[in-house]
Amino acid sequence: MALYNKTTTKVIPTIAASIQAGAAFADKDILFDWHKVDGFKGVEINGITAIIRGTNGADQSMVDFELLFATSGIKEDTRGINVDIAPPSLGTVNAGVSTYQWKNNLTGHFLFDVDVANTTFNDGDLDVLNIVTASGLNIPVGQDLYVAAIVKGALDFRSTVQVSTQTATNTTDVVVKTTGALINFAPGDILHDEDDQVIGTVKSVTDDNNIVLAENCASVSAVNKDLYNIHPVQLILSASS
């Protein structure tokens, strides 16, 4: 009987707050550019789970989206030694693919299709996010793996959770208004304001109006600025070797 070692890893790409705040994503837009996947070498991905945060605390009407997988690029450092770097960019996030120097880095892709049997989307029962799992895949992995994503319809991460009182760098407390913090944020979320000022990592959400950070607020955010979790999409990849 064959024995298999199963590996899983969580991938947490960053989508800047200012990009989330600017407009909803549209068909063919880059959802996130190349992000390094750690822990996978010489295996095949056979399962993917995607967790998609909602719009202002409400789950989304899910659309198809495509994951692209690629090997690293190579760059010579100041010592003359080749080092791995991310593949060349796809272009600007929340806009269509506009650069194409990554063509020879591609190793595979997968389309999360709402209409096919091996992908199952939740039906709205989770209220504040969407989750989808695909199994039975066979995606080859190179020695160094990166992933990027393109959406096939509208995804909207815009928020109206606003800073209610001036945040300060000598406190972990952030007071918010307009939309409840409990349905938008959770411990571990990294918060930036709509202008990409760093606020901090959420330690706890006391109630709809009060957030406690793990450390003192990193920068001062003006009153009435919207707050964003900069990781609204997470992937869990599984592979067997």
Give me the mean pLDDT over the 131-149 stretch: 86
Confidence of residue 119 (pLDDT cuts 50, 70, 90): low
- Cβ neighbors of 73 (< 8 A, separation 6 or more) are 84, 85, 86, 87, 88, 105
- Contact of 193 with 227, CB cutoff 8 Å: yes
Give me the mean pLDDT over the 115-131 stretch: 73
Confidence of residue 2 (pLDDT cuts 50, 70, 90): very low
Q: Nearest Cα to 145, choosing from 100, 89, 105?
A: 105
| Model pLDDT for residues 5-25, shown as the tens digit of each residue | 568 899 999 999 999 999 999
Structural domain spans, the chain: 6-157+231-240, 162-225
| Model pLDDT for residues 168-218, shown as the tens digit of each residue | 889 999 999 999 999 999 999 999 999 999 999 999 999 999 999 999 999
Three-class SS state of 211 = strand
Which amino acid, 59? D
As a whole-number percent, the residues of the chain with pLDDT over 70 amount to 89
DSSP 8-class letter at 201: E
- Contact of 67 with 11, CB cutoff 8 Å: no
Query: What are the angstrom distances between the C-alpha of 47 and each of 83, 178, 179?
Result: 29, 39, 35
What's residue 136's pLDDT? 84
